[in-house]
Structures are given as structure tokens and as C-alpha cells.
Amino acid sequence: MPNDKLRPAPPVGIDIPPGYNEIPLGDLDTLMQTARPVITASVPDRMRDDVPDVLGTLHFLLATLAANNALYSGIGLHRTAEVSGRVAVSWLTVSSFEYGEERNPRLVLSELINVKAEKKSRGTLAIIEGPAVPILYFEWIEKHSVPVFASYPVTSDTPEVFQIEVTVPSADGTSIAVVELSAADPDIGPQYRGMILDMAASITFPQPPSDTGSSSLAL
């Protein structure tokens, strides 16, 4: 999306589905200090020397989310529909942006589609009619380089992550909310489609309190 149009995060309301554990995006240093003994105790002895590197990477990712208007971040654990006892892991983020002048929300989505075309983004794209405004749905599989950790076995495989991004404009076109999901198992990823669309349909853009400029997330 065009960076020159993006300003601080407006407040939004959204329903977060059950099964997600929120990761606070405030005091990350304290969060890492709290997480370190828990992670250290939960991994095999041979992997404990890599815990500082893992925490450093996690700190960087969360700080990047916070700097890019993330209002919510959470890790989800869900039972899969096909295999009994199999647990699916996913990462969920919600962000919001002030986008531009008042206009038809369909024009906002049209512009965002053009930006994806200019970037040659590859995936499945659709406009879905929501209860109040249209929703831009984009789904793709992203390949990542293998992380390098001394205790982690070297593999030639390229990990694939299933990604969904839905963008919801406000009724006056001045703000957008973005819900992003990453699923570690591409085969399970499609099971999240309905959940993400339900989240998109629940989004509202309440007016911020007149005496404060802070943003909020109604859960």
C-alpha cells in the first residue's frame, strides 16, 4: 500500500476468535526477560544455547509489528478438522491506518489492488461483500529461508507458510484495518478462511474519545 498515505493507527473494534494467546507489544524487554526462563526450560538441552538468538529474533519481529501500527498480535493453537489430535499453529495480527481523504471505500480497495499488481504480488485475490463495506481478500503461500541455528539440523527444504491478508476500509474511506494470518502448515491454512472473514466482518471504526488521541482495540 502507498506509504505516503499511511499515518498513525486509528482505533478499531474487532472480535478475536478463541484459541489465541495475545502477545503484548508494549514493554518488549520485560516480555523477553519473562519468556527466557520459560523457553529455556521447554527446549531440549542441545538447543538451549540458541535461546538468546531466538529471543533476539522474536524481539525484532514484535518491535517491527509495533512500529507498523499493529494493535494486536497473538499465537493460536487449534485442533484440526481432518486429523484427530493434530494441533495447528498460527500467528494473527491486526493493524489499522489512517489512509486518506473521504471517498467511496471501493475506490480505496481498487487502489490497493493496483498497488499489488504493480508489485507483481502473486496469490488469490477477491473482493468480498461485507455487512457494511467490501473486503479485500488476498491469500498466498510464502517461502522462507531456513533459520540457521547451531543446534538445528541443516535441511535443504524451503519452509512454506500459508498467508491470508484481509483489508477492510471504513465507510468513509479515510481508514483501513488489516488482519493478517500466517499458518505454519500450508495444508491446514485453508481451514482459517472462514474465521478470518468473520473477523473482517466484525470490524468497526469507532470514533476515538475527544479528550485523547490514543488508539484502542475492542475485543
| CATH number assigned to the domain comprising residue 81 | 2.60.120.1690
> What number is the average pLDDT over the span 83-90?
75
Give me the chain's average pLDDT, please: 82
What's the number of domains the chain is made of? 1
d(CA 62, CA 58): 6
Confidence (pLDDT) at 62: 79
pLDDT of residue 217: 43
> Cα-Cα-Cα-Cα dihedral of 25, 44, 51, 77, to 10°?
-20
Residue 115 lies in a domain: yes
Angstrom distance (rounded) from CA 117 to CA 2: 13
User: Which string of b and e fits 85-118 if b means at least 16 CB within 10 Å?
Assistant: eeebebbbbbbbbebbeeeebeebbebbbeebee
For residue 101, being part of any structural domain is answered with yes
Q: Is 170 contained in some domain?
A: yes
The boundaries of the domain holding residue 130 are: 3-22+71-218
Give the up-direction half-sphere exposure of residue 162: CA atoms within 13 A in the CB hemisphere: 14
Indicate whether 53 belongs to any domain: no
pLDDT at 78: 84
Residues 107-153: pLDDT tens digits? Answer: 999 999 999 999 999 999 999 999 999 999 999 998 866 656 555 55
- Residue 45 in this model has a pLDDT that exceeds 90: no
Indicate whether 7 belongs to any domain: yes
- Given a cut of 90, whether residue 17 has pLDDT beyond it is yes
